[in-house]
C-alpha cells in the first residue's frame, strides 16, 4: 500500500533523502542513540528492577545498539524493552535494524526473528515488576525465514486498539503489506506518528500500514489475558481499566527484546510537534493541517 498524498510524500522525501541529512540542523533531527552508550535510555526487563541490564542484554558495539543473549542459558520469558527517556507526540522516527544469529534457547516459536519498536508507550518507571509488555503500539519487526512470505512493519497492540478505514480493528496483530526480508540484512524503517490522529509505518521508503485514533483498550489479547492477568499488579490493572477508550496522544519509544538477537543503528527523530509552535524551527518547514491528520511541508 503506497499513499498518494502530497504532504506525506514530501515528508518522506525529507525523512529519507540525503538532503534531510544536510539540513538536519534546520529540521531539528535528534539522534536518540548516540552510537557510544545507552545514555538517555531506561531498561525494564520482566522480573527485574528498573535499569537492571540483566545479563548485559542491551549493549553497544561499533556504533550499533545490540540486543543479545550470549550470557543466557535460557530465555525464561525475560521480555524486555529499552525506553528513550523523553516522550513524544508528533514525530517521524527512522532507524535501521537487522536480525542476527539464532534464537535464544527457551524463546517462543513465534519469536523467531521477531522484535519491535513501541510508540506511545507507558514509561519504564510505570511498569509492574513482572509486566512483559508495556501498554503501547508496537511496530512489529519480523525477519524472513527463508521460505514463504513474512511481512515486517506490522502492528501489534498490547493494551491498545486502533481504527482502520473508520472502523475499530481489535485484532492484536495486523499484517502490513511489506516485502519479506530474509537473512541478516539491514532494513530501513520509519514511522510517522501524529498524536492521536494517524500513524504510518514505512519499510525501505514504502508506506506499508496506516491506522488512526489509537486508544487504550483490549487488555493483552495476544496471550488471552485481561489487564489483571497480564503481569500488571492489581492496582495498576484497575487504573488501566478506568482508562479504557482513552485516546493515546503521546508516549515513550521503546526497543523490544523478545529472545532473538537484533541490532539497531541510526535511530533518529524529527519532532513535528513544532509544526504547531511558531517559535520552533520545524514550524518554518511544516504546517499542521486543520484536521491534525498531516504535517505538510511548506513549499
Give the tens place of pLDDT for each residue, 79-122.
Answer: 999 999 999 999 999 999 999 999 999 999 999 999 999 999 99
- Predicted local confidence at residue 279, as pLDDT: 62
**Of residues 75, 83, 72, the one with CA closest to residue 120:** 83
Residues 6+ apart with CB under 8 A from 66: 58, 59, 60, 261, 262, 263
- What are the extents of the domains in the chain? 6-297
- Predicted local confidence at residue 233, as pLDDT: 74
Poorest-pLDDT segment among 131-145, 191-205, 273-287: 273-287
Mean residue pLDDT across the chain = 86
* Mean predicted confidence (pLDDT) in 2-15: 43
Tell me what percent of the residues of the chain surpass a pLDDT of 70: 78
- Predicted local confidence at residue 229, as pLDDT: 60
Residues 6+ apart with CB under 8 A from 247: 196, 213, 214, 215
Q: Class assignment of domain 6-297?
A: mainly beta
The C-alpha cell of 35 is what? Answer: 552510537
CA 38, CA 40: separation in Å to the nearest integer? 6
Tell me what percent of the residues of the chain surpass a pLDDT of 90: 70
Greatest CA span in the chain, whole angstroms?
Answer: 56
Question: pTM (2 decimals)?
Answer: 0.86
Q: Is the pLDDT of residue 5 over 50?
A: no
- Do the Cβ atoms of 99 and 124 come closer than 8 Å? no
Residue pLDDT, tens place only, 194-239: 999 999 999 999 999 999 999 999 876 555 566 666 667 777 788 8
Amino acid at each position: 500500500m503506497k499513499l498518494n498524498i502530497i504532504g506525506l510524500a514530501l515528508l518522506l522525501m525529507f525523512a529519507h533523502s540525503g538532503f534531510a541529512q544536510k539540513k538536519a540542523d534546520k529540521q531539528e533531527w535528534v539522534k536518540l542513540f548516540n552510537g557510544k552508550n545507552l545514555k538517555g535510555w531506561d531498561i525494564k526487563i520482566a522480573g527485574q528492577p528498573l535499569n537492571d541490564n540483566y545479563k548485559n542484554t542491551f549493549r553497544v558495539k561499533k556504533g550499533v545498539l545490540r540486543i543479545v543473549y550470549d550470557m543466557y542459558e535460557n530465555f525464561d520469558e525475560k521480555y524486555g524493552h529499552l525506553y528513550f527517556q523523553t516522550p513524544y507526540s508528533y514525530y517521524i522516527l527512522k532507524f535501521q535494524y537487522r536480525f542476527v544469529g539464532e534464537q535464544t534457547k527457551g524463546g517462543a516459536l513465534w519469536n523467531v526473528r521477531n522484535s519491535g519498536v513501541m510508540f506511545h508507550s507507558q514509561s519504564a518507571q510505570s511498569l509492574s515488576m513482572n509486566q512483559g509488555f508495556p501498554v503501547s503500539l508496537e511496530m512489529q519487526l519480523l525477519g524472513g525465514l527463508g521460505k514463504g512470505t513474512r511481512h515486517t512493519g506490522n502492528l501489534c497492540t498490547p493494551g491498545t486498539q486502533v481504527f482502520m478505514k473508520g472502523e475499530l480493528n481489535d485484532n492484536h496483530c495486523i499484517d502490513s503489506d511489506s516485502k519479506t526480508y530474509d537473512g541478516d540484512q539491514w532494513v530501513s524503517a520509519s514511522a510517522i506518528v501524529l498524536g492521536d490522529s494517524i500513524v504510518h509505518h514505512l519499510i525501505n521508503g514504502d508506506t506499508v500500514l496506516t491506522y488512526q485514533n489509537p486508544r487504550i483498550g483490549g487488555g493483552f489479547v495476544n496471550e488471552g489475558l485481561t489487564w489483571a492477568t497480564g503481569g500488571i499488579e492489581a492496582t495498576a490493572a484497575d487504573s488501566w481499566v478506568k482508562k479504557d477508550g482513552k485516546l493515546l496522544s503521546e508516549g515513550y519509544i521503546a526497543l523490544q527484546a523478545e529472545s532473538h538477537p537484533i541490532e539497531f543503528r541510526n535511530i533518529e527523530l524529527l519532532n513535528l510537534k513544532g509544526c504547531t509552535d511558531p517559535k520552533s524551527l520545524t514550524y518554518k518547514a511544516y504546517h499542521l493541517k486543520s484536521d491534525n491528520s498531516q504535517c505538510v511541508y511548506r513549499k
